[in-house]
Copies of this chain bind each other. A is one copy, B any other.
């Protein structure tokens, strides 16, 4: 169909939600028990769609680039997540209303209230408001919002609000607290005062083992398991760099206020890649394939100015100008773009937003989110961060396990460096139980520190050290210790790799595709269609016997056997509903093809193949029709190309 016919009717979120619910793409988990916010179950079509997206992801990333797929546990002991920083930092800011007991996520609260005030201002000025589609969820909350009145804002205030909203992802808790105070934001339902924002850790906690002593969490991301196995993975890869691991699995975040359906949930499927790369060489061998891919960027500079204009450039240009930090990052942005558009994302509703300096994790050197535009706004669906050497370094330091790459140098190099020489025989008796700690302390000094210590030793005959785990100062005299500048020939270079991490939130991607591919037939706005690409559609073919005449039954069996043998997922609809009704049902399910069995099939074995979006039909032998379905679904052929050997077929009013 043409884009024009797909946009005849305005998109209505409520209509989409009804279809998704009616066809059981997904539904609130434990619904008969009243449900639990932020938990959803996928029904058969949603589950099949998800499985096909995952299968495509696996082929696009893992197989195409020989990544090492792993499967790590979700249960994670406290110590690991303490080291990674999650115990201390993985939190959102929440405000309590002490009177009602309600809890609000601080940034969402500010966002919601300022948006409402802006809307009220426009209304008071008589401007037309483009009414945002509202989900049941939002309606419910809105009922409670007493504050929305059509009040004009003072001069400049509206602009100030817009600037704040453009930067909303970048504020710290205290900054949010200041905004709440400055703009006099209260409990929207009651107008009551709120406590200042406090941190709430988003990890689900549990106890491992019968003693209850070992504290653990459900992982908040899949990355840590991959980092911890780094050395084993490097060995699997025959010690060669660069390489990537990948993991597809569930993660968990105890959201303060889950909302917006699949977009903010407490349990979600992720697909994460950890690409390990030489920090001194972040070129990518296949960058040529990415260079000319044109993307729409929202760089940090634009956002920091409180604006949101997009910059359209090729990946090559973006890397050359330094806007995107390095080739590998740029390569992955292009691969992400190709993946998303392959599975049904509308490229005109996809942008790459760079994290602002104050929003980025302190260890990251650059970070871009692939954001998809939905009726909820622009949604972060894929993150692509350069995590530098942070994770491997902190785990290595905590566990004393080396997590490094050792590479033979092409030619030996001569280096001058300071080295520590200890008289071990004397060291033990002198420092006793602290001997190990003192040695370790000396071994871990940087070249710069050693230079200072060497001077100290030369000038005063001793060094005075603060050694971790040892009380008081430690003095080491020149009888026990030498620090000298020596010349060495080195054959091996040792380094901690940096990590580029493309991280996909699968549920958010699936929901965005629903919005991007949902439309209604021009002739009837209630006949909606979900134009999922054949590659990822839950079912590829609906088999429709024209009637339930007994003569057609053996043909149905023959056709389903052939489809099963060809491994093409199908469903049969031999209900008594009209052909048109049966196809309408499957248009909602996103089934791209229909095979109709009629009385001519008995005569000559031919069947009709119908395409969902155009409702075009062609006719041919069963084998030819199945071949066309496979060619279009799995080899990406266009309809016209895939069906060129089949005969166009017209019916009077098939869709009635």
- Residues in chain A within 8 A of chain B (CB atoms): 23-24, 27, 29-33, 36-37, 39-44, 46-48, 50-51, 59, 63-64, 66, 68-77, 79-80, 94, 101, 103, 200, 204-211, 214, 216, 218, 225, 228-229, 232-233, 235-236, 238, 250, 252, 254, 256, 266-267, 395, 398-399, 401, 564, 567, 569, 571, 573, 575
Contact = CB atoms under 8 A, between A and B. Distances in A.
16 contacts: A24-B235, A27-B232, A29-B73, A33-B79, A33-B399, A36-B216, A37-B209, A41-B225, A41-B229, A43-B70, A63-B569, A75-B252, A218-B218, A238-B573, A238-B575, A250-B250
Given A30-B77, A208-B254, A229-B27, A70 B41 contact: yes
Closest 7 CB pairs of A and B: A42-B71, A44-B68, A41-B72, A32-B401, A32-B399, A39-B73, A204-B206
Given A32-B399, A36-B77, A59-B567, A236 B43 contact: yes
A210 B41 contact: no
A40 B208 contact: no
A71 B564 contact: no
A33 B564 contact: no
A401 B34 CA distance: 11
A417 B395 CA distance: 73
A42 to B, nearest CB: 4
Nearest to A570: B66
Contact of A70 (B44, B68, B216): B44
Residue in A63, A207, A218, A229 with the greatest tally of chain B CB atoms within 10 Å: A229
A284 B391 CA distance: 55
Contact of A47 (B70, B77, B208): B70
A256 B210 contact: yes
A29 B72 contact: yes
Given A72-B41, A73-B41, A225-B41, A30 B236 contact: no
A47 B74 contact: no
A40 B254 contact: no
Given A69-B51, A236-B44, A75 B33 contact: no
A564 B62 CA distance: 12
Nearest to A569: B63
Contact of A75 (B36, B59, B573): B36
B24 A208 contact: no
Given A37-B209, A236-B24, A64 B395 contact: no
A628 to B, nearest CB: 20
A76 B41 CA distance: 11
Contacts of A63: 564, 567, 569
Contacts of A205: 206-207
A137 to B, nearest CB: 16
A36 to B, nearest CB: 5
Contacts of A238: 573, 575
Nearest to A204: B206
A76 B208 contact: no
A80 B44 CA distance: 22
A539 to B, nearest CB: 10
A471 to B, nearest CB: 27
Contacts of A214: 36
A64 B27 contact: no
A73 B32 contact: no
B71 A228 contact: no
Contacts of A254: 207-210
A163 to B, nearest CB: 29
Contacts of A94: 210
Contact of A395 (B32, B37, B211): B32
A74 B72 CA distance: 16
Nearest to A238: B575
